């Protein structure tokens, strides 16, 4: 009876399959991190847009003398926008830290020969969207506070 050694065909196939499964798990983890960032984007977008809308509506009502005290509602709207921006910044920091750790772990496993690491980690479209939303959110809050810019 032939024993299974590190040089047997059966063992090589098993190691190859394991290496490929582990390599694919890095891609699944990367996509999961993107989905997590997308949920942060959705929540931040809701806070920013709802806060901006409250701010604008009560500002217009006060401008038309329909209401006399719109400041508390405008402050609430401003707070929602700020909260959305802070949440987005936190989500971006978490995502970037996680992806750096994931890339380092993948690189270490590839250098040890445990995975092939032939497929690349592309630049995340979700990350680019989050950065763009952050810029829009900052522009909105600057516009709200200083009554300048494209949203004023």
Exposed, middle or buried: residue 49 (CB in 10 Å: 0-12, 13-18, 19+)? middle
* Domains in the chain: boundaries: 13-146
Whether 99 and 30 have beta carbons less than 8 Å apart is answered as: yes
Predicted local distance difference test score (pLDDT) of residue 69: 80
Q: Which of 130, 135, 133, 136 is nearest to 35 (CA)?
A: 130
Chain centre distance of CA 141: 20
pTM comes to 0.81
**Per-residue pLDDT reduced to its tens digit, 22-69:** 667 888 899 999 999 999 999 999 999 999 999 999 988 888 888 888
**Per-residue pLDDT reduced to its tens digit, 72-103:** 889 999 999 999 999 999 999 999 999 999 99
């Amino acid at each position: 009876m032939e024993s299974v050694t590190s040089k047997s065909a059966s063992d090589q196939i098993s190691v190859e399959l394991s290496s490929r499964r582990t390599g694919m798990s890095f891609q699944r983890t990367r996509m999961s991190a993107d989905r997590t960032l997308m949920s942060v984007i959705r929540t931040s977008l809701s806070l920013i847009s709802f806060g901006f809308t409250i701010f604008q509506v009560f500002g217009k009502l006060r401008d038309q003398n329909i209401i006399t005290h719109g400041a508390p509602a405008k402050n609430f709207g401003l707070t929602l926008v700020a909260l959305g921006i802070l949440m987005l910044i936190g989500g971006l920091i978490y995502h970037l830290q996680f992806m750096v750790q994931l890339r380092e772990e993948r690189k270490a496993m590839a250098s040890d020969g445990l995975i092939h690491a032939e497929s690349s980690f592309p630049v995340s479209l979700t990350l680019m969207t989050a950065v763009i939303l952050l810029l829009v959110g900052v522009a909105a809050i600057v516009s709200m506070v200083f009554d300048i810019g494209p949203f004023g």
